[in-house]
Every structure is written in C-alpha cells, then in structure tokens.
Amino acid sequence: MATWHDYLKEQGHVPDWPYPIRYDQEQEIDADVLVIGGGIAGCWAAISAARQGLNVVLVEKGDTIRSGAGGPGCDHWCNAPANPLSNVDPDEWAEHMADRPYCNGIGIQIQCRENYDTLLELEQMGGKVRDTDDEYLGAEGRDDKTKFMISPRYTKVHSYVPDMVKPVTLKSNPDKKLNNVVIRVWGSTFKPALKKECKRLGVKIFDRVMVTSLLTENGAQGGRIVGATGVNNRTGEFMIFKSKVTILATAGAGSIWLISTELGGYSNMMSRTITGDGTVMAWKAGAELTTMEAAGVLRIATGLKHKWYTGAGDASYENVPLVDANGKRLPLPIQGWVDAGAMVPTPEVEKKIREGIMKGEYALPFYGDFPAMPEVERNATWKLMLGEESTTKIITKTFNDAGYDPGRDLLQSYRFIEGVSLAQWGEAGYGGSLLVDWNLKTTLDGLYAAGTQMFAPEDHSYAAATGRYAGRKAAAYARQVGEAKISREQVIREKARVYAPVKRSSGMDWKELHAGIARAMQYYCSEFKTESLLNMGLSTLSKIEKESVPLLFALDPHKLMRSLEDLSLLTYAQIIIHASLARKASSIPLNFRRIDYPTLDPPEWRKYLTIKLKNDKVKTGELPLAFWGNMKKQYEACNKDYTGVYKGK
C-alpha cells in the first residue's frame, strides 16, 4: 500500500492532512540578507553572504537538499577558463562567449573569472570535482596530475545556435590547442554539500516556503525592497521576512505554454515548481525586466515528447555516435572528442538526414552506438556524464536495472519518430528576467539577482558563480543601510490575495487554470504573432484574471501553492505578451516571429527591450547590445577587493 486509493481502500477513509494547519497565523523573521530560492544560485548567495558574518535567511519552495534545476545533479562545469588546464585567457574567453546577441556579458564575465574559484570552494565543502578514485584512467581529457576530467565540450567548436558557429582563433590560443574550458564533475554530490555548508555557517533555512511577494518601502512600487512575504506549503502559515537586502535566486517559468500530466505525469525538462514566481514578484514591485519576448522551442520530456533524451535517447548531444536501424553511421555531429564540442547539427545536415529517411537511405529508429565507443569513454559518458547529470541519474539506473548494458546494447533515439514539437508549444524561462548591473543589483534598491533571475542566464556553474558574487555584493550593501521598515498595509493586502483560494472549496482547480493560461498562449503568442493576436491574448488573460481567478479553490496548503504558482504564470504570460507587442521586428536569436514585422533582425531593432511597471502602468525602454561596456575593465573596477578562493573557517 502506498497509493492514495490503496490507503482509502484499506483504511476506509482518506488520510488526514499530515501537517498542522496554520492558515492566517504569522511568523516574522528578521534578516540582514534574505535569499529567495534555495537552488544553486541561492545556496551560493547565502553561503557567500554568511561568510561576511551577516545574518542570512534562505527561503526555498521545496527542500534545499535537492531543490532547483541543479538539485539532482550536474555533469558539466562550463565556462571555466581559469582552470589550470585551460589554454585560453579567461577575459578573452568571456568576451568570445558574450559575442552572441542577447546574452548577458556581465554574468558571463563573472562566470569566467570566478567559477573556477567557486569549484575549488565546492570541493572544500565536500563536492566531488576530480577523479580521485581513478575510475577513468586513460580517458581523453583526464589529467593525471590534477585528476580533473576535461570535457570535449567547447574544446574546438562551441555554439548552441545553428548558423552562429564562427571559426575563431583566440589570441591566447594561437596554436589552436584544445580550449579545455569545461570540466566534468560529480554534480549529484553538490546540493547536499551546499545545504550542509549553509547550516554550518548559521544560515537560517526555511524549506517548503513559497515566497509570494516582495515588500517595498512604504509599500510603494519602485521603492527599496525591505522584505518579502511567503506561505508555508505544508502548513499554510504566513511568513513575513524583513531584510536590509534581498537576493532573488528563483527559477524561470518552464511550462507556460503547456501542461500535460495525463500522458507522462508532469514529466518535463523543468519541474512544476518552475513557475516564474520571482520574476513576477519583482515585476509587481517595479523592477525592470528585459528580453521577456524571447521564447524557446519545447524540446523534450513533456509527456508528449520522450524523457530519455540526449545521451539517454538522442545521443547526438552526449558523445555517442548515432547510427540508423541497420547500423549505418549518421552524419550528425557528436559532442565528443571526435567533433570537439559541436552540439547542434547544421540545418543542411538535418535536411540531408530527413531526406535520407524518406528515400530509404537511413532506416528508423536511430540508436546511440555505445558499444562502438572505447570502454573508458563509454564509461565516462554513461556513468559520469549521464550518471551525474540532473535527472538522467535515475534514467541510467532504470536502464541498468532492466538489463541494459552499454557495452553490448544500442540505446534507442527518439529523433524523428516522435515528430517535431508544434510551434505552439513554446517554452519560457531561459531568456527574460531582471536587468542587473555590475554588482548584480537590479533596478530596485535593496534587490539583487543571481542565476536564472538575471536576464539571459546560462548553466549550473553560472548560477553558482553569480550567486556567490551576488551574496558578496549584497552583503556589502547591507552593511551600509539602516533597518528596513515594512508596510503593514502591504502585508494585509498580500495576505488577502494569498488566502483567497483556500476560502473556497469548489470553483476552478489549479490544473484547469494552468491549462487555460497555456491555451491562451498557444493561440495568441505562438509563431503567428501579430499585433491583433497578441492583443487578443491580453484580453483572454485579462478575462481569466477577472472571471476564473476569483473561482480558484485550494483544498490544502500544497494545492494553495500550486494555485499561487498559476497566478505567477498568469502574470508572467501577460509580461511576455507586453514585451512581444513592444518588439516590432522579428529575430532569429530571440526565436521571435512577428508576421506583421517579418524582417529578421533589422539593424534598428538590434537592442534589448526593457519593461517594467510604474504606477501599475507598463513602461518599455531600450538598451544597446553589450550595454555593459568593456567586460574586463568593468569587472576589475567593481572587484578590486576580490580575494579569490575562500580561506576562512
């Protein structure tokens, strides 16, 4: 017996709610530094601020032990040009990586300068970053002295974006040696080590608390951030956090275009907890956002697409050669040493394979040919990369338990046979977010951002390095400012909003509301964007707000959290449409198509659009590309006091 209906059958009644219910009760917590979100960026921010001797509070919607996109694991420590095996200069590498439109040069510079120090600190805490057990002796990229495992990723070619692979010779690497900027790591050890370090440093952790709003000085939009409110998603208790400074380290909004629990559970690249709460609370407080019009293409693992992705299904991504059903090698690049970092096939290659399938030249399905790989490389891919990467650890375990042997068996790929995603199934959350300066301060006083809450975020080590940096900068700010005073009126208003769904026991449940929001986005904010469709989208979302939101009901604190997340998704969707209306041009790097403005990336539109609320009215603005200036100079000017790897206790 373990399912709910088993319990009902055996006990004759449904289980009682397992936690005490504390609706409406308040708990007030004081902090110098409040960190919202206990994922990779949030943990690092909390650790970094606590090392400055400040009173740090960390609030996390799940449990800090495994929460966040990097919670289950991480297999690559990317953009680490300061590592001793690197053949490139960190500043030159950072500039090169930032030579992509609509990226975040500030974050990339911080990552390239500081993420190797961050990695060494992680090792001090107990994270495994070297092959200390000599498991992969003889693997390409393994350095016998340091026992670091260099990854083939970016060793020669590096681009996630088709058509944007530029052959480049770096001044610091004139002989074109392998760049050696990415390190393979044992990331499943990271999150428990980070939580342990937070606790050791006296960070007060509030797990299972969803932060619902930011509090501003005098309750005014655009004012200094002086704290936040939250609700415990097990007890329903209301939390009031007062802080001198706040760091936003929450996630994007993954499933705004799609919800499907029936086909494969909430199987998704990003879990249901990723609902854009942080971006939305900052927006309501008056913070300026950018790149919100950027959209991704829904790729894998949505119940509609297969979960066994990339190395565990579409091996073109993770070192493994792909073959057709007759064993014929496909011309897809692999990201291994053979192709030295190429990640995405060119459109020409994609077309050639598709035509080959139709003509019978390639037989479906395709397979990852693990047996063809040298043993040590196969193990490094199957056991280390897939074994340590976020959600693939359980995938490789399931295969192993079922009898799969990578030395003997081909792993099926779902490319082509599962079809392409409908263009209507977009994906948000990895483009737009808060505008930050070189201190990672947002446009609001008292509010800093890290990881995915910075616009155009990158990967795990980016979250770690920027979290660590934001913690340092926010701590310095906290030392300079006085006590914060919160507005009781603002708290009372937020309490009324938060508890509205638990005051009803019927009406509309959170899943229906989510599906309604997703449908509005599919119809009105898809590849067929026009002024009138986008405006219809705004009207539809506004109708949902007026007619459906007042019906939302939640039977317990967990469903209350899901309901509040829907309200975040609803506002997030509205921000996306406002930003989409503001960009009157199409763009390849933003994956943004306007039928009424079809010209792709015209020179006058190559700029960031910013968007914020002022007196509850939407205001847009703009910034030039690379508005952050000279990356090396700006970084150095802001970090004269940087002391490198932590040497304190």
The site for other proteins (CB under 8 A) is made up of 1-5, 7-9, 12, 15-16, 18, 62-63, 65-68, 71-72, 188, 208, 233-234, 261-268, 270-273, 301, 303, 306-308, 312-313, 327, 365, 367, 369, 371, 390-391, 393-395, 397-399, 401-404, 408-412, 558, 562
Name the residue nearer to other proteins (CB basis): 199 or 619.
Answer: 199
Q: Convert 101-140 into a string of H (helix), E (strand) and C (coil).
A: CCCCHHHHHHHHHHHHHHHHHHHHHCCECCCCCCCCCCCC
Nearer to other proteins by C-beta: 403 or 624? 403
What stretch of H or E contains 581?
helix 557-582
d(CA 648, CA 564): 41
Nearest to 345 by CA among 413, 442, 288: 413
In the complex, the smallest distance separating the C-beta of residue 358 from other proteins, rounded to whole angstroms, is 23
Half-sphere exposure of 359 (CA within 13 A, CB side): 7
CB nearer other proteins, residue 303 or residue 621: 303
Please give the span between the terminal C-alpha atoms of the chain, in angstroms, as a whole number. 47
Q: How far is the CB of 66 from other proteins (least distance, A)?
A: 4
Closest contact distance (angstroms) between CB of 471 and other proteins is 23
90, burial (CB in 10 Å: exposed 0-12, middle 13-18, buried 19+):
buried
Per DSSP, the three-state class of 481 is coil
Q: How far apart are CA 356 and CA 465, in angstroms?
A: 44
If the CB atoms of residues 100 and 234 are measured against other proteins, the closer one turns out to be: 234
Compare residues 472 and 562 and give the one whose CB is closer to other proteins: 562
Least Å distance between CB 558 and other proteins? 6
Residue 109 CA: distances (Å) to CA of 89, 117, 192, 569: 12, 14, 27, 31
Amino acid at 283: W
Q: How far is the CB of 12 from other proteins (least distance, A)?
A: 8
What number of other Cβ atoms are within 10 A of residue 477's Cβ?
18
Specify the residue, 91 or 509, whose C-beta has the smaller distance to other proteins.
Answer: 509
Minimum CB–partner distance for residue 75 and other proteins (Å): 14
State in angstroms the smallest separation of the CB of 393 from other proteins: 6
Burial grade of 203 (CB within 10 A; 0-12, 13-18, 19 or more): buried
Query: What is the amino acid identity at position 439?
Result: N
Beta carbon nearer to other proteins, 9 or 354: 9
User: Least CB distance from residue 118 to other proteins, whole Å?
Assistant: 23
Nearer to other proteins, 288 or 318 (CB): 318
Query: What CA–CA distance (Å, rounded) separates 72 from 192?
Result: 10
Q: Supply angle C-alpha 212, 218, 219, rounded to 5.
A: 30
Least distance CB 21 / other proteins (angstroms): 14
Considering beta carbons, is residue 410 or 513 the nearer one to other proteins?
A: 410
Give me 612's structure tokens: 């914020």
H/E element holding 29? strand 26-36
Q: CB of residue 127 vs other proteins: minimum separation in angstroms? A: 16
Rg (CA), the chain: 24
Q: Which residue, 204 or 272, has its beta carbon nearer to other proteins?
A: 272
Q: How far apart are CA 595 and CA 574, in angstroms?
A: 20
Shortest distance, CB of residue 454 to other proteins, whole angstroms? 22
Q: Smallest distance from the beta carbon of 382 to other proteins, in angstroms?
A: 12
Min dist. Cβ of residue 327 to other proteins (A): 8
Q: Which of 4/642 has CB closer to other proteins?
A: 4
User: Smaller CB distance to other proteins: residue 262 or 604?
Assistant: 262
* Main-chain dihedrals φ then ψ at residue 647, nearest 5 degrees: -120, 0
Sign of CA dihedral 168, 173, 177, 182: negative
Question: Of 573, 586, 582, 596, nearest to 524 (Cα)?
Answer: 573
Report in angstroms how near the CB of residue 18 gets to other proteins at its nearest: 5
Closest by Cα among 545, 549, 559, 544 to 502? 559
Closer CB to other proteins, residue 3 or residue 480? 3
- Cβ proximity to other proteins: between 12 and 624 the closer is 12
Q: Render 337-378 in DSSP notation, one character per residue.
A: TTTTT--S--HHHHHHHHHHHHHTSSPSSPEE-GGGS-HHHH
